Amino acid sequence: MSSTSLFRFVLIAGLIFVIIGVVAGISLSDTLPTILQDYLAQVENKDMSRGKAIFMLLAMLVVLLLLPISTFGLWKFKSWARTLYVVITVAFIPFYPVFGPVVMNGWEAMFRDIALILEGMLLAMMFTGEVSQKFSASKTAVSS
């Protein structure tokens, strides 16, 4: 398998595992212990300030807009997509503590962990080896 094919495989596999993880989280929430289900229900019913609600809505919209754009650009080996992907990834790391405790079932955790491993592979491939040269080539072609 060529490095280009492997990169694209990892890109798509990562997306698939994220989607499977979300589906597992939603569909298997009733398998959590009762105390965790009660906690999730309490968090869900908790009033949220208008500012926090607007912020979370804007953050979700930004991700839902920019992530597909960066994914398409990565598929085409566009240098701007590599930058955008890294910026999105790094920018959202500080928000994890803001969202509070994370509760998930074992299947969701497994699929999320696999997706994170694939994301790490993707980042490594973007900046090393043959794949990184493809991004550099697209940058050179644009500036010529």
SS3 9: helix
What is the torsional sign of CA 60, 64, 67, 70?
negative
Q: How confident is residue 94, by pLDDT bands cut at 50, 70 and 90?
A: confident
Please check the confidence at residue 141 and state whether its pLDDT lies above 80.
no
pLDDT digits (tens, 9 = 90+) for 97-126: 877 889 999 999 999 999 999 999 999 999
pLDDT at 138: 63
Domain residue ranges of the chain, discontinuous segments joined by +: 3-143
